[in-house]
């Protein structure tokens, strides 16, 4: 049952000219939670083969930009996209993004996934580490009120990550899109309205006054 539906989605993606069926996960999340803001620029982490890029590129239009990273090379023909082939780490992400001078970032999306080893615990830890890295990117570059979407292989780290997100975003939801393969253990976090610590203090101070 699941396989038939998923095969159909793979065919649909091909027919509609998308690089991967993953696009339907982002579409579902955006249709439900409106995570693509109507202004500002976007950072896409783990962008290859490029279906999320295609979707976001069309949605934001030619005057806004997407800065995309993947450790695999892809040929991107979308005019509003700058693609950088790099393996992002917590040591290099800041310099790599600054080098590309992207300002007014209102959305960070991460579909990054580790190469799976088949050792479940190891794959889960690596997925969690990529989530923490994506969150660092979001915390460093998002404008106040910006949004964040991040994929994780479901694990015991889920709650910790959710708690961490709630420190930085006004709304946090765990999503399992219908278009996710039935055998897949992946989940997505959708976080909206980023704020920095001092803004929280400002908010609570004005509440106390």
Ligand X SMILES: C[S@@+](CC[C@H](N)C(=O)[O-])C[C@H]1O[C@@H](n2cnc3c(N)ncnc32)[C@H](O)[C@@H]1O
Binding site for ligand X (CB under 6 A): 19-20, 22-23, 46-52, 69-72, 87-88, 111-113, 130
DSSP track, 145-177: EEEEEEEEE-STTHHHHHHHHHHHEEEEEEE--
Residue 69 Cβ vs ligand X, minimum distance, rounded to whole Å: 5
Count of C-beta atoms within a 10 Å radius of residue 91: 7
70 versus 164: smaller Cβ distance to ligand X: 70
130 versus 135: smaller Cβ distance to ligand X: 130
Residue 208 Cβ vs ligand X, minimum distance, rounded to whole Å: 42
139 a catalytic residue:
no
118 versus 206: smaller Cβ distance to ligand X: 118
Spatial distance between the Cα atoms of 170 and 54, rounded to a whole number of angstroms: 28
45 versus 105: smaller Cβ distance to ligand X: 45
Q: Which of 32, 72, 101, 151 is catalytic?
A: 151
* CB within 8 Å of 125: residues ≥ 6 apart: 155, 157
- Please report the beta strands in the chain, taking only residues with DSSP state E, as ranges in sequence order: 41-45, 66-70, 81-85, 105-110, 142-153, 169-175, 186-194
Enter the DSSP assignment of 191. Answer: E
Active site residues: 151
């Amino acid at each position: 049952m699941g396989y038939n539906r998923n095969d159909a989605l793979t065919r649909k993606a091909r027919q509609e000219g998308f690089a991967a069926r993953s696009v339907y996960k982002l579409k579902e999340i955006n249709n439900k939670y409106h995570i693509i803001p109507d202004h500002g620029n976007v950072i896409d982490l783990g962008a290859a083969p490029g279906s999320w890029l295609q979707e976001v590129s069309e949605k934001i239009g030619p005057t806004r930009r997407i800065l995309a990273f993947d450790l695999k090379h892809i040929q991107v023909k979308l005019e509003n996209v700058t693609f950088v082939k790099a393996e992002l780490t917590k040591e290099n992400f800041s310099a790599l993004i600054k080098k590309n001078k992207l300002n007014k970032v209102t959305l960070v999306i991460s579909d990054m996934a580790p190469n799976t080893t088949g050792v479940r615990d190891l794959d889960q830890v690596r997925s969690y580490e990529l989530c923490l890295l994506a969150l660092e990117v979001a915390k460093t570059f998002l404008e106040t009120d910006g949004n964040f979407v991040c994929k994780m292989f479901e694990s015991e780290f889920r709650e910790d990550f959710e708690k961490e997100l709630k420190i930085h975003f006004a709304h946090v939801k765990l999503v399992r899109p219908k278009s996710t393969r039935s055998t897949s253990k992946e989940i997505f976090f959708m976080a909206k309205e980023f704020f920095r610590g001092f803004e929280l203090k400002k908010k609570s101070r004005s509440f106390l006054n």
